[in-house]
A and B are shown apart, each in its own frame.
Chain A
Amino acid sequence: MKRLAPVIALIIATFIAIYVGAAPIDNFWSSLISPGSNDILWQIRIPRVTAALIVGASLALAGLMAQGACNNALAEPSILGTTAGASLGTVLAVLTGLVQVGSVGAIACGALGALAATSLTFKLANLRSQLSSFALIIVGIAVSASITAIVGLLSSMVTRADARSISFWNFGSLALITRDNLVGISITAIVGGLIAWKISPSLDRLSLGDATAFHLGVDVPRVRLIALVALSVLAGGSVSTVGSIAFIGLAAPHIARFIYGPTHRSLIIHTAIIGALLVVVADTLSRSIAQPNELPIGLITSLLGAPVLIALVSVKNNVWTNQ
């Protein structure tokens, strides 16, 4: 039952998310089985909840890739600078007028920004030719803070409505999602998910340390690079479309490991389900708590994710030891 709980919770949460909102939906169930019958349902609510599912799954998988590639419990897109890089890549592309937020072009720029920032973190952390967990986290925080500041400056100094606000890039929002946006984030989720699936056995071996993984036949630098590409594609697609949503990349893989164990191939699916669940619940709360106002979703995910993580550490501390 424990293993099925996240799936059941996700199904229930998805229906509640579609049902709940500022405007009530008349004849909810009949409208749900008749595509196009209700504009609020089919043009706003369902695209938004679908985006929440995809973004949640993507950010969770991005976190799994970050933790697997770094063999570090604290690694996640926000801490490695990936999220900030995706924001900067997208903001720069939008400010030059080349793309719009949510377009495939913006997603590509977001993914490139994510890859560049993550690579910078790894490069700086590896200056002494020894990639320590401590250096990675400290450098990642520094890179992330610097890039976030640049994004804030750009968002404040340039008055383009379509460049979005500082709040959007820092805390995320699904409010402006349209059906057209779903294509881009679906592509990045599928591509990133398939790459993650492909390298997951190598990530199991990487958890034994670089030396042992190499002895078992893993080309460590290559696998790490592929994981970072997957991480950048997944986080880049999501962040460039809905902004930064905190804690999903950190909390979802840990929750999944606690329930399903550490094998990465199994975690690919389960982490995605838990990430989707967290974002769907957070988004529903963000637009329900202070109606008709909407709270930034990143605030809700932090409030939800932090206690869950603390509870996991206190209940079972052997899922990731020696860190």
Chain B
Amino acid sequence: MITINEITIVRDGREIIYDYSEQIPAGSITAIVGPNGCGKSTLLAAIAGDIAPIKGTITIDELHPILTPPAQLAQIRAVAIQNQRYTLGFTVKQIIEMAGPPEEVMRSLDLTSLADRVVTTLSGGEAQRVSIATAIAQQTPVLLLDEPLAAQDVSSRQRIIELLKKMAEGGVTVVVVAHSNESELAWADKVIKHFL
């Protein structure tokens, strides 16, 4: 369970999120939606422990992400950021191995044929799938994904959605930032859209 309690977040002098509370149940898929610049990714980053609210608290199963050491936090939540950049010539398999066992997640996301490809040569959609696979390989109870479907074709989108549903059924709490409107988010158990 992720509990957001009356948080206010300010970035670059601008109030992005004000006095917002929410509860995200365990073993579910929650989609955060809204127009550009409304603070979707900021909310996800705050849950991930990347940024601290100036007021209020966020807890993941009673643990405060911002106060938890990075190594311990990495066992609780995994994150796939939007537009992951790769600078060194690691292979797809080597990148996923940095997080955990790669084989199963590569099969699930149709990355097995790309296992030995250098990540710097991947297309945008492939690189995004590698980023998602890396987060999933971390095998944490909470999975936070920033626009995981943005650069995917129809079949890849379906594949990712099916995998997330299966993970949620297995008890993983999935939080996804999405641009889609509500009618396209039937696969999510909960949609958050008013948080400013």
For the complex formed, measure the closest distance between the CB of B60 and the CB atoms of chain A, giving whole angstroms. 14
Please indicate the chain B residues that have their CB under 8 angstroms from the CB of A207 in the complex. Answer: 86-88, 90
Closest to B75 in A: A217
> What is the total number of residues of chain A having a CB less than 8 Å from a CB of chain B?
26
* Chain A CB within 10 Å, residue with most, of B81, B84, B89, B135: B89
* Interface bits A294-323 vs B (CB < 8 Å: 1, else 0): 000000000000000000000000111111
Q: Is the CB of A214 within 8 A of B70?
A: yes
Q: Does A211 contact B (CB under 8 A)?
A: yes
Task: Indicate which residue in A220, A257, A263, A320 contacts B94 across the interface (CB closer than 8 Å).
Answer: A263
Q: Is the CB of B81 within 8 A of A321?
A: no
Please indicate the chain A residues that have their CB under 8 angstroms from the CB of B89 in the complex. Answer: 257, 261-262, 318-320
Task: Indicate which residue in B77, B79, B90 contacts A262 across the interface (CB closer than 8 Å).
Answer: B90
Alpha-carbon gap, A22 to B77, bound state (A): 65
> What is the total number of residues of chain B having a CB less than 8 Å from a CB of chain A?
31
Please indicate the chain B residues that have their CB under 8 angstroms from the CB of A219 in the complex. Answer: 69-71
Given contacts A212-B81, A262-B90, contact A217 B74 (CB under 8 A): yes
Q: Is the CB of A319 within 8 A of B88?
A: yes
Task: Indicate which residue in B84, B99, B120, B131 contacts A321 across the interface (CB closer than 8 Å).
Answer: B120
Given contacts A262-B88, A263-B90, contact A217 B73 (CB under 8 A): yes
Given contacts A261-B89, A263-B90, A319-B89, contact A208 B78 (CB under 8 A): no
Q: Does A270 contact B (CB under 8 A)?
A: no
Known: A216-B138, A257-B88. 14 other contacts (CB 8 A): A71-B87, A204-B90, A204-B98, A208-B87, A211-B81, A212-B79, A212-B131, A215-B77, A216-B98, A217-B71, A261-B89, A262-B90, A321-B87, A321-B120
